Structure 1
Amino acid sequence: MIRPPAIAAFDAQPMHGRVVLVTGGAQGIGRGIAQAVLGAGGSVMLGDLDAEAGQACLAEWREPARAAFGRLHVAHEGSVKRWIASALKRFGRIDGLVNNAGIVSPHVASLTELSLASWNSYLATNLTGAFLCSKYALPALSEHRGAIVNIASTRALQSEPDSEAYAASKGGLVAFTHALAVSAGPQVRVNAILPGWIATDAWQKPSTRKAPKLSRQDHAQHPAGRVGTPEDIGAMAVYLLSDASGFVTGQHFVVDGGMTVKMQYV
């Protein structure tokens, strides 16, 4: 008679010994993901345009052996190549990449007033940045059967007026995710997280940090009963970066407190 597998112990430090690169990692959702990786036993290399925010993370974390920062412009190929090389020099390996950097404001102008330069800036930062970082991290990720997590948005699935550039860039990121999962597998898994309303006010650099101002109605409109936090996205990211999700690739996960499944009637 064949016996079933024994009960496996839960790994409380699923990122132990692993190195994760996080773009746009010094503030907001990116910082939440980086802290989740550190809390799960891993090491992080932050990349961000805001050097003040990056240095603030290192000063507040006090984890000099497991955290580093490098200034990064994800839409500039040379900057990406230097950042990846710096991470490899510092840590010697790459096990995970989180493509989080992006223009965060979804509203620009009506389509008839939207400039080509503005349109291109969204695509360059939100989509081309993920392409460049994935391209140059992929060889190192392949050596350790690593994982890529792309941070898209629920706006890839639903929209408000005058958000075409943002929606297109995030929708493109979802498609990029499943295409790369097929191309990079089985050495590298690729998944996407689609955050909903995430309150990031308290996750900024010290000079701009503040408590979020949220009403009872803000929380109540979520089936989960509250607005999201960067920790919510960090928890999902750790799962997708770890061996716990070893049979998961090419997928996108909505983390929005249930907002996209709630019917809205005015």
Structure 2
Amino acid sequence: MVEGRDRVAVVTGGTRGIGAAIVRHLLGQGYRVATCGRSAPEAPIAADGREADFDACDIRDAEAVGRWIAAVAARHGRIDLVVNNAGGSPPADAATASPRFSERILHLNLLAPLHVSQAALPHLRAVGGSIVNIASVSAVRPSPGTAVYGAAKAGLVSLTTSLAQEWGPQVRVNAIIVGLIETETAEMTYGTGQAQQRIAASLPLRRMGRGEDVAEAVAFLASPAAAYISGARLEVHGGGERPLFLEIVKENAGAVG
């Protein structure tokens, strides 16, 4: 088995939030990690006295992605793991979202992971590596207000299963369905601290997820323990969101008749 210090991971969008947690966790496991973004972080992403490489790269640009992956492979001699983490979307009314907006969301959340995976494929095949795509609960339930994002993430889940079929046995490809996660921008997504507490209380595990929860799942899927797992979607969502109708029923109990 390859020693931890000899494994190389590529993580897109690894400078903040879930991505930074994944980078730090992989560094702690002995990986050499390369990440990217459109602008450098204020401080290097580090763990256990080791730092991740950072390169500026717009992953929506397939040619730029090719140059970045080639540079990482030249620098480190191999690529064992690709984590397609970069993504997201601001809220947008589906009725009025501009074509340019929708295209950019699709490029970031669906096409960019494909570009990165294609560029890294020869290196992954050479070492029997794996790809982990970071998807979302928006892929598997309605996503009002971020409809194009949900559609893109659903496409990413479908892409995962197709690539697992096409690229096996040399390369395993899996997806993580990420639930409601606390990050440094949680207030922008979930509202006030009180609102976040109510959301956490509504989940079966009585808390929102953390970046480390997703990072642990990534490390598992990349490990020998997952050697026979490919084309899978691992749900990291604390048991899932409680259906709204149950709350309505509870609030109106006894009102019938």
TM-score (norm 1): 0.84
The whole-number CA distance in structure 1 between the counterparts of 2:57 and 2:193 is: 31
The whole-number CA distance in structure 2 between the counterparts of 1:60 and 1:245 is: 24
The whole-number CA distance in structure 2 between the counterparts of 1:92 and 1:183 is: 25
The whole-number CA distance in structure 2 between the counterparts of 1:237 and 1:16 is: 17
Q: How many residues align?
A: 240
Q: Which residue of 1 aligns with 2:87?
A: 102
The residue identity in structure 2 corresponding to 1:102 is G
Q: Which residue of 2 aligns with 1:26?
A: 15
The residue identity in structure 2 corresponding to 1:213 is G
Structure 1 residue 16, shift from structure 2 partner? 4.4
> Is this contact kept in 2: 1:15–1:238, CA < 8 A?
no
The residue identity in structure 2 corresponding to 1:131 is L
**1:129 and 2:112 are equivalent in the alignment:** yes
Residue aligned with 1:159, SS: coil
The change in CA–CA distance for 1:138 and 1:112 in structure 2 (over 3 A counts) is same
The change in CA–CA distance for 1:14 and 1:230 in structure 2 (over 3 A counts) is farther
> Is this contact kept in 1: 2:6–2:32, CA < 8 A?
yes
Which whole-Å deviations, capped at 9, do the CAs of 1:147-198 have from their partners, x for residues lacking one? 0000110000112423210111000000000000000100000000111111
Residue aligned with 1:129, SS: helix
Which whole-Å deviations, capped at 9, do the CAs of 1:123-164 have from their partners, x for residues lacking one? 111111011000000000000100000011000011242321
Mapping 1:1-266, distance limit 5 Å: 15-51=4-40, 53=41, 56-58=43-45, 62-64=49-51, 67-105=52-90, 107-109=91-93, 111-201=94-184, 213=193, 215-260=196-241, 262-264=242-244, 265=246, 266=248
Q: RMSD of aligned C-alpha atoms? A: 2.2
The residue identity in structure 1 corresponding to 2:57 is L
The whole-number CA distance in structure 2 between the counterparts of 1:57 and 1:240 is: 26
The change in CA–CA distance for 1:143 and 1:125 in structure 2 (over 3 A counts) is same
- Provide structure 1 residue ranges, at least 5 long, that are not aligned to the other structure: 1-10, 204-211
> Is this contact kept in 2: 1:221–1:259, CA < 8 A?
no
> Is this contact kept in 2: 1:191–1:240, CA < 8 A?
yes
Structure 1 runs, 4 residues or longer, greater than 3 Å off? 13-16, 58-62, 212-216
Residue aligned with 1:201, SS: coil
The whole-number CA distance in structure 2 between the counterparts of 1:59 and 1:178 is: 32
Q: Which residue of 2 aligns with 1:6?
A: none
The change in CA–CA distance for 1:163 and 1:14 in structure 2 (over 3 A counts) is farther
Q: Which residue of 1 aligns with 2:252?
A: none
The change in CA–CA distance for 1:108 and 1:174 in structure 2 (over 3 A counts) is same
Identity of aligned residues (%): 36
The whole-number CA distance in structure 2 between the counterparts of 1:30 and 1:126 is: 14
